[in-house]
Structure 1
Amino acid sequence: MRHPLVDDVCDAYLALADARLPGLVTGMYLYGSVALGDFRPAHSDVDAVFVTARPLDAGDRGGLREVHAELAERLPRPHLDGVYITADALASDPTGTTGPHSSDGRFGDDGTFERLLVTWHTLADTGVTVRGPAVESLRIHTDRAALNAWLRDNLRGYWRHLWRTLSAGTEAARREGRHDFTPPWCVLGVTRLHYTLATGAITSKSGAGEYGMRVFDDRWAPIITESLRLRRGEDTAPGYPDLDVRHADVVAYMDMVITDADRP
Structure 2
Amino acid sequence: MVTPGEYLSFLDARLPGLVAGAHLHGSHVLDDVVPGSDLDIVIELSSAAEVPAFEGADVAVVPAGSLEKPVFDVTPLAGEITPVLWQQLRTAGQTVRGARPTCPGTAADVEDYCRSNLVSYWTPLFDQVRVAPEVPRDGIVWVGLGPARLWHTIRTGEIVSKSRAGELAAARWPDLPILDVVSVRRGSPAELTAVHTRATVELFDRIMADVTT
Tell me the equivalent position of 1:44: 37
Point out where structure 2 has 5 or more consecutive residues left out of the alignment.
none
What is the root-mean-square deviation of aligned Cα atoms in Å? 2.0
Residue number in structure 2 paired with 1:24: 18
Which of 1 and 2 has greater Rg? Answer: 1
Unaligned runs of 5+ in 1: 102-112
CA contact (8 A) 2:22 2:41 kept: yes
- Cα 1:96–1:156 change in 2 (3 A) is farther
- Aligned partner (choices 119, 140, 147) of residue 156 of structure 1: 119
Residue correspondence of structure 1 range 2-21 to structure 2 within 5 A: 5-7=1-3, 10-21=4-15
CA distance in 2, matches of 1:116, 1:162: 20
* CA contact 1:190–1:258 (8 Å) conserved in 2: no
1:141 Cα deviation after fit = 2.1
User: Contact between 2:66 and 2:74, CA under 8 Å: does it hold in 1?
Assistant: no
TM superposition score normalised by structure 1 = 0.73
The amino acid that maps onto 2:179 is T
Contact residue 174 and residue 244 of structure 1 kept, 8 A: no
List 4+ stretches of structure 1 deviating above 4 A.
none
Indicate if the aligned counterparts of 1:192 and 1:203 stay in contact, CA closer than 8 A.
yes
Equivalent in 221, 227, 233 of residue 181 of structure 2? 227
- Is the 2:134–2:194 Cα contact (8 Å) retained in structure 1? no
% same residue: 32
Residues 165 and 55 of structure 1: is their aligned pair in 2 closer, same or farther, counting only changes over 3 Å?
same
3-state SS of paired residue (2:24):
strand
**Superposition pairs of residues 1-264 of structure 1, within 5 angstroms:** 5-7=1-3, 10-41=4-35, 43-52=36-45, 54-56=46-48, 60-61=49-50, 64-65=51-52, 68=53, 72=54, 76=55, 79-95=56-72, 98-101=75-78, 113-133=79-99, 135=100, 138-168=101-131, 173-176=132-135, 179-214=136-171, 216-220=172-176, 222=177, 224-235=178-189, 237-238=190-191, 243-263=193-213
The code of the aligned residue for 2:173 comes to: D
Letter in 1 for 2:68: A
TM-score w.r.t. structure 2 length?
0.89
Amino acid of the residue matched to residue 249 of structure 1? A
Q: Distance in 2 between matches of 1:262 and 1:95?
A: 25
Query: Matched residues in 2 for 1:117 and 1:190: separation?
Result: 16
User: Cα–Cα, structure 1 residues 246 and 22, in superposed 2: closer, same or farther, change >3 Å?
Assistant: closer
Query: After alignment, is 247-256 or 202-211 more displaced?
Result: 247-256
Query: Does the Cα contact within 8 Å between 1:117 and 1:142 map onto a contact in 2?
Result: yes
1:138-178 Cα distance to aligned partner (Å, 9 max, x none): 2212221011111111112211111222123xxxx1222xx
Letter in 1 for 2:147: V
Q: What is the distance in 2 between the residues matched to 1:124 and 1:180?
A: 33
